[in-house]
């Protein structure tokens, strides 16, 4: 089953009118509900009627805001990345040292432990399901990960500018290594129901960053 429940095949996202405050709240409820369902059941396992019933809206309301399921999934991807970044924002804004990197890492681990390591990364789950089966959404997923990587890269750039890292440090490569460690660690922690893989992967990545310390 592809994300498209209706006949929209052009890939073009229609221009939609501005909504009232009540309309925005309804749209947000639909997206939040769809995100929760897709996190638990997957995109393929979540139908428009499922979202309609759980959000307590009519089909016409859903299609007023989203032309098809693909457009709804795009909104879910954007919602999940903003939610992920929002939870980490205070620490991401303070990435200016190796201890700050470890503080961010510890917060990510603590969040996973609060869930008993039973839930992985919402963005990663969407990517795992969609990237190999639905090419039109690959760009949205790449943009989501880049959105997450951007503040990490900015923090590393500050560290380089402040002399914490040597001038030759490639902040793009280091940021990708850190995010990849988080993603891989989250997946293994979910499988093993232990935060140890996440801690080990992120500590190794931070050690790599430390190898460029001035």
Tens-digit pLDDT string for the chain (214 aa):
455 444 343 444 444 556 688 788 999 999 999 999 999 999 999 999 999 999 999 999 999 999 999 999 999 999 999 999 998 989 999 999 999 999 999 999 999 999 999 877 899 999 999 998 888 899 999 999 999 999 999 999 999 999 999 999 999 999 999 999 999 999 999 999 999 999 999 999 999 999 999 9
In a domain, 166, yes or no: yes
C-beta of residue 107 within 8 angstroms of C-beta of residue 123: no
In a domain, 30, yes or no: no
User: Distance from first CA to last CA of the chain, Å, rounded?
Assistant: 52
The residues, any chain, with a CB within 8 Å of residue 88's CB and separated by 6 or more, are: 104, 107, 108
For residue 21, the model assigns a pLDDT of 82
In a domain, 91, yes or no: yes
In a domain, 18, yes or no: no
Q: How many domains does the chain have?
A: 1
In a domain, 179, yes or no: yes
The closest of 72, 77, 191 to 126, measured between CA atoms, is 77
Report the CATH number that the domain containing residue 104 is assigned in CATH: 1.10.357.10
Which pTM does this prediction carry? 0.82
Percent helix, strand, coil in the chain (nearest 5)?
70, 0, 30
For residue 22, the model assigns a pLDDT of 79
In a domain, 200, yes or no: yes
Question: CA of 44: how far to CAs of 29, 36, 68, in Å?
Answer: 20, 13, 14
For residue 8, the model assigns a pLDDT of 40
Please give the residue range of the domain that contains residue 139.
77-210
In a domain, 176, yes or no: yes
For residue 78, the model assigns a pLDDT of 95
For residue 18, the model assigns a pLDDT of 60
In the Cβ-directed half-sphere of 86, how many Cα atoms lie within 13 Å?
Answer: 6
In a domain, 84, yes or no: yes
For residue 6, the model assigns a pLDDT of 44
Q: For the chain, how long is the longest CA-to-CA vector?
A: 59
For residue 7, the model assigns a pLDDT of 38
């Amino acid at each position: 089953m592809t994300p498209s429940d209706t006949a929209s095949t052009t890939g073009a996202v229609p221009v939609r009118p501005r909504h009232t405050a009540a309309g925005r709240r309804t749209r947000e409820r639909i997206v939040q509900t769809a995100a929760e369902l897709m996190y638990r059941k997957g995109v393929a396992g979540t139908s428009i009627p499922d979202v309609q019933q759980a959000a307590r809206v009519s089909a016409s309301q859903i299609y007023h805001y989203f032309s098809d399921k693909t457009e709804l999934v795009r909104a879910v991807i954007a919602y999940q990345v903003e939610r992920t970044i929002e939870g980490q924002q205070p620490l991401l804004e303070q990435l200016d040292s190796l201890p700050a990197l470890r503080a961010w890492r510890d917060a990510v681990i603590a969040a996973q432990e609060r869930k008993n390591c039973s839930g992985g990364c919402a963005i990663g789950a969407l990517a795992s399901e969609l990237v190999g089966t639905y090419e039109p959404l690959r760009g949205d997923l790449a943009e989501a990960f880049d959105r997450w990587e951007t503040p990490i890269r900015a923090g590393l750039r500050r560290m380089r500018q402040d002399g914490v890292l040597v001038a030759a440090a490639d902040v793009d490569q280091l940021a990708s290594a850190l995010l990849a460690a988080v993603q891989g660690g989250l997946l293994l922690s979910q499988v093993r129901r232990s935060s140890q893989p996440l801690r080990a992967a992120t500590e190794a990545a931070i050690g790599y960053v430390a190898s460029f310390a001035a």
